[in-house]
């Protein structure tokens, strides 16, 4: 195993001295700059577009409008990761304020941005709908009247659109007999919860540089999904996969924002028309109309017996996916089962709808539906505990999934530690003592808990190659995108450990579809586990090959050889040795490589929700201590303890930092992050009006438990601690004020309003 003294990040120095190569910094000779004309209407028919005034501006080289797409039979009309519903620029209509109408490539960015404003467009406004619940009704204006005709691109689950509505996917779980389960309950509670839209706010905005070399397309892009982008571009431009090369340098943050094709199709089309490289980079304002988090409206009915046993659970969820589906269907599916929670419930019925509206597209966002689902599910657990007069910890412990139990999807769970994690979180905040205390200054200190089950991308696959050069350097070829999470360091450590190489002799090659083997994508906290396994396998094969070759050279039995500190030697005779690089050199090669694959299998039946949702589970629990000022409604979070299941920790420093980072992310969602819309327009599309936590907002105490088990698989930690954080804070605040809270974020004004409201709780 790599040692704890090894550097926490192999590229930390380059990172802090701004020497890490980012796509943002890439400039090429002859490169043009693109800009996008965006719709001012949430929904309108495009009657007429005249690009001529823009073309007349000096410095403008090319303008792309729908005519370039409609007049070109070699171009596919639309693309999209799960439903091909998105055109490169609007064809017959615009679907949200900010939708792409046209684009310009010019000699400099200022000219491009000025030129798009010169394009003449005639719109015919149409009725629009912004709320997912309203949009799901049969009478709502349709965002995609032609939905049924789109080429269905199904990745890992079957799509279930509801024809003639804005529902582009309906995921169901049907387990047991809901009516019987509710009838067996002593008490049935029902409540509706809401989580608003949010922005990822990556430090580096979306950026792509594209150019053509004859009929080959080269794209440098800030993307978490190089292979998805390659596949989408090949399909759109009708090219072979080998004709599209996608290269990804480290990202200045991802958080899900940089998944699937985003600027690449437009940059490629602009570059093709201009005949020169084109750089397309978004402004901060444009980030807010490009991809956000799904607003979610989730209604839960929970049947419980007096002794605290859950008999049945019904979930009705609406995921507002905006104007284009993006990964919305996947969000609705995973959100559907995430809302069940890590509980043993015999009767479960879930209806989770992905709904089009005329808002900007919503897609993958750190937590991938679990944040919204856990807010609803774990608030409900506290409401039920309160009604039953049970301690919220005991109530949860009575129902938590344990090894060998079946989840709502029918799969039997193994290696689950929800009870231990929740216990660790409770203990860290000294639960059950002082759950609510009124302090001398009138503020109230209170505590809250929440627990989370989150799935990982299933099925998925990856391959990795590990090479040893004649110079003795170990090289790791993997499709994992480095976005600050430290995946390059994790893979370097894992490979180095197998060959007992010093870390400074390991190089992790940047993802390049022409160089590295296939990987599904860098999402769902899967890389350290999936790629890590493939890298270890490849490194093990490489080690054996080196041993075999060395055995011949040293005239020894390979079983008598030892591979240590960059050398192979005969056990007990350290002077009969070869450096690893020498072994390779003696074979006449520059590099000796080995490749290995790893895949996880599974999938759910979308009509019953039965099957395998996740090949293993991300598990976490959070305990929060808050101090609330009831006069103003202001919340101070004093302590957050996050307990996560790591299985096996690869990098202790980064594992801890990832978990703290999740807590800070959750803090913003809990207390103030919210994209505000007025008639579909984002009203706070800048960082003065949309605030994210600053260092001064971080609670004075953030503590972490990294739970390990001997021999366990590595479990990803990129998102694990995020989903329970808002719920635990919300449960603490609700306890402090003695009110029901259903809506995030917990702004001072909302809390004051909750205090003024008479208590509202329904019985089914």
506, containing H or E segment = strand 506-509
Sole window of 63-71, 299-307, 308-316, 691-699 interacting with another protein (rule: CB under 8 A): 691-699
Sole window of 548-556, 609-617, 654-662, 744-752 interacting with another protein (rule: CB under 8 A): 744-752
Sole window of 136-144, 506-514, 573-581, 692-700 interacting with another protein (rule: CB under 8 A): 692-700
User: Quick one: which of 669, 636, 628, 667 has its CA closest to 752?
Assistant: 628
In the numeric block, the tokens 């004020």 are attached to 737
Helices within 38-121 (DSSP H only):
52-55, 66-70, 109-116
User: Quick one: which of 454, 524, 536, 166 has its CA closest to 324?
Assistant: 166
User: What is the smallest separation between the CB atom of 94 and another protein, expressed in angstroms?
Assistant: 22
H and E: helices and strands count for the chain: 19, 34
User: What is the smallest separation between the CB atom of 680 and another protein, expressed in angstroms?
Assistant: 17
- Say if residues 712 and 617 touch (Cβ distance below 8 Å): no
The DSSP string of 512-542 is BTTTSPPBS-S-TT-HHHHHHHHHHHHHHHH
Sole window of 41-49, 153-161, 199-207, 627-635 interacting with another protein (rule: CB under 8 A): 627-635
749 near another protein, rule: CB under 8 A = yes
748 near another protein, rule: CB under 8 A = yes
Q: Taking the CA atoms of the chain, what radius of gyration do you get in angstroms?
A: 27
Of the two residues 563 and 671, which places its CB atom closer to another protein in the complex?
671
User: What is the smallest separation between the CB atom of 636 and another protein, expressed in angstroms?
Assistant: 9
12 near another protein, rule: CB under 8 A = no
- Total number of residues binding another protein (CB under 8 A)? 25
Site for another protein in 572-591 (CB under 8 A): none
In the numeric block, the tokens 């694990």 are attached to 720
Q: Give the number of other CB atoms < 10 A from CB of residue 456.
A: 24
691 near another protein, rule: CB under 8 A = yes
Q: How far apart are CA 518 and CA 511, in angstroms?
A: 10
Of the two residues 71 and 694, which places its CB atom closer to another protein in the complex?
694
3-state SS assignment for residue 142: coil
Of the two residues 65 and 292, which places its CB atom closer to another protein in the complex?
292
Site for another protein in 628-687 (CB under 8 A): 631-632, 634, 668, 671-672, 676, 683-684, 686
User: What is the smallest separation between the CB atom of 251 and another protein, expressed in angstroms?
Assistant: 24
Of the two residues 112 and 490, which places its CB atom closer to another protein in the complex?
112
- Say if residues 278 and 267 touch (Cβ distance below 8 Å): yes
739 near another protein, rule: CB under 8 A = no
User: What is the smallest separation between the CB atom of 242 and another protein, expressed in angstroms?
Assistant: 41
40 near another protein, rule: CB under 8 A = no
Among 277, 693, 716, 718, binds another protein (CB under 8 A): 693
Site for another protein in 695-724 (CB under 8 A): 696-697
Of the two residues 308 and 699, which places its CB atom closer to another protein in the complex?
699
User: What is the smallest separation between the CB atom of 150 and another protein, expressed in angstroms?
Assistant: 37
Q: How far apart are CA 373 and CA 446, in angstroms?
A: 23
752 near another protein, rule: CB under 8 A = yes
**Spatial CB neighbours of 303, under 8 Å, sequence gap ≥ 6:** 181, 182, 184, 185, 187, 188, 310, 311, 312, 313, 347
Sole window of 106-114, 152-160, 260-268, 482-490 interacting with another protein (rule: CB under 8 A): 106-114
Per-residue interface string for the shown chain with another protein, residues 113-142, x marking contact by CB under 8 A? -x----------------------------
User: Quick one: which of 366, 198, 375, 355 has its CA closest to 298?
Assistant: 375
User: What is the smallest separation between the CB atom of 198 and another protein, expressed in angstroms?
Assistant: 13
**Secondary structure of 598-628 in HEC code, one letter for each residue:** EEECCEECCCCCCEECCCCCEEEEEEEEEEE
Among 1, 110, 148, 573, binds another protein (CB under 8 A): 110
User: What is the smallest separation between the CB atom of 287 and another protein, expressed in angstroms?
Assistant: 15
Of the two residues 38 and 144, which places its CB atom closer to another protein in the complex?
38
440 near another protein, rule: CB under 8 A = no
Q: How far apart are CA 628 and CA 242, in angstroms?
A: 59
User: What is the smallest separation between the CB atom of 565 and another protein, expressed in angstroms?
Assistant: 46
Distances in Å between the Cα of 263 and the Cα atoms of 86, 219, 258, 685 are 12, 10, 10, 19
**Secondary structure of 545-566 in HEC code, one letter for each residue:** HHHHHHHHHHCCCHHHEEEECC
Of the two residues 174 and 634, which places its CB atom closer to another protein in the complex?
634
DSSP-derived letter for residue 686 is: S
Query: Which of 245-284 are b and which e, b meaning 16 or more Cβ less than 10 Å from the residue's Cβ?
Result: bbbbbbbbbbbbbbbbbbbbbbbbbbbbbbebbbbbbbee
Residues that bind another protein (CB under 8 A): 110-111, 114, 631-632, 634, 668, 671-672, 676, 683-684, 686, 688-689, 691-694, 696-697, 747-749, 752
């Amino acid at each position: 195993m790599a040692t704890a003294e090894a550097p926490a990040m192999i590229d930390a120095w380059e990172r802090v001295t701004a020497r890490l190569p980012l796509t943002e910094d890439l400039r090429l000779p002859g490169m043009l700059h693109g800009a996008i004309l965006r719709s001012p209407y949430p929904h309108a028919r495009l009657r007429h577009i005249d690009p001529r005034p823009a073309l007349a501006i000096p410095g403008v080289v090319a303008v792309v409008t729908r005519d370039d797409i409609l007049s070109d039979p070699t171009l596919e009309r639309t693309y999209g990761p799960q439903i091909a519903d998105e055109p490169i620029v609007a064809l017959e209509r615009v679907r949200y304020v900010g939708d792409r109408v046209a684009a310009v490539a010019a000699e400099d960015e200022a000219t491009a941005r000025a030129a798009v404003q010169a394009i003449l467009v005639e719109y015919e406004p149409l009725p629009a709908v912004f709320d997912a619940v309203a949009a799901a009704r049969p009478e709502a204006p349709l965002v995609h009247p032609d939905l049924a005709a789109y080429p269905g691109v199904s990745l890992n689950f079957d799509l279930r659109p509801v024809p003639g509505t804005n529902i582009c996917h309906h995921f169901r779980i049907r387990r047991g007999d809901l009516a019987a389960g509710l009838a067996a309950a002593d008490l049935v509670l029902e409540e509706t919860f809401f989580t608003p839209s949010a922005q990822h706010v990556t430090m580096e905005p979306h950026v792509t540089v594209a150019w053509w070399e004859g009929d080959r397309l080269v794209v440098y892009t800030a993307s978490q999904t190089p292979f998805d982008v390659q596949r989408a571009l090949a399909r759109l431009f009708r090219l072979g996969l080998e004709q599209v090369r996608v290269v990804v340098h480290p990202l200045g943050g991802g958080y899900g924002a940089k998944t699937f094709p985003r600027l690449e199709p437009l940059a490629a089309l602009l570059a093709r028309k201009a005949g020169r490289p084109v750089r397309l980079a978004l402004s901060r304002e444009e980030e807010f109309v490009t991809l956000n988090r799904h607003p979610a409206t989730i209604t839960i009915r929970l049947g419980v017996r007096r002794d605290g046993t859950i008999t049945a659970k019904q979930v009705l969820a609406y995921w507002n996916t905006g104007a284009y589906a993006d990964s919305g269907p996947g969000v609705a599916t995973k959100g559907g089962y995430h809302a069940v929670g890590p509980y043993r419930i015999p009767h479960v019925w879930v209806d989770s709808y992905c709904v089009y509206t005329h808002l900007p597209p919503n897609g993958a966002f750190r937590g991938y539906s679990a944040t919204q689902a856990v807010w609803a599910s774990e608030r409900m657990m506290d409401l039920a505990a309160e009604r039953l007069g049970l301690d919220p910890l005991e109530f949860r412990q009575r129902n938590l999934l344990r090894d060998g139990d079946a989840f709502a999807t029918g799969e039997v769970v193994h290696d689950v530690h929800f009870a231990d994690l929740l216990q660790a979180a409770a203990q860290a905040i000294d639960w059950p003592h002082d759950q609510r205390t009124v302090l001398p200054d009138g503020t109230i200190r209170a505590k809250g808990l929440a627990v989370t089950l989150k799935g990982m991308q299933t099925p998925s696959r990856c391959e990795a190659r590990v090479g040893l050069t004649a110079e003795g350097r170990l090289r790791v070829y993997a499709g994992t995108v480095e976005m600050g999470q430290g995946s390059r360091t994790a893979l370097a450590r894992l490979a180095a450990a197998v060959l007992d190489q010093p870390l400074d002799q390991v190089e992790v090659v940047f993802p390049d579809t022409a160089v590295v083997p296939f990987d599904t994508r860098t999402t769902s906290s899967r890389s350290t586990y999936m790629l890590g396994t493939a890298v270890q396998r490849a490194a093990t094969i490489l080690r054996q090959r080196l041993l075999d070759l060395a055995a011949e050279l040293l005239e020894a039995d390979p079983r008598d050889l030892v591979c240590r500190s960059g050398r192979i030697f005969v056990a007990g005779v350290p002077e009969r040795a070869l450096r690893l690089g020498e072994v390779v050199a003696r074979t006449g090669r520059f590099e000796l490589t080995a490749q290995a694959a790893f895949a996880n299998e599974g999938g759910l039946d979308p009509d019953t929700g039965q099957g395998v949702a996740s090949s293993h589970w991300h598990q976490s629990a959070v305990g929060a201590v808050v101090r609330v000022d009831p006069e103003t409604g202001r919340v101070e979070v004093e302590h957050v303890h996050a307990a996560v299941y790591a299985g096996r920790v690869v990098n202790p420093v980064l594992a801890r930092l990832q978990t703290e980072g999740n807590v800070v992310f959750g803090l913003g969602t809990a207390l103030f992050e919210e994209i505000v819309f007025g008639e579909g327009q984002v009203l706070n599309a800048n960082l003065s009006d949309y605030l994210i936590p600053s260092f001064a907002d971080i609670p004075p105490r953030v503590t972490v438990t990294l739970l390990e088990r001997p021999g366990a698989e590595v479990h990803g930690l990129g998102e694990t601690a995020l989903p329970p954080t808002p719920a635990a804070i919300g449960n603490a605040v609700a306890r402090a004020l003695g009110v029901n809270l259903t809506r995030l974020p917990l702004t001072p004004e909302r809390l004051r309003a909750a205090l003024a409201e008479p208590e509202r709780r329904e019985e089914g």
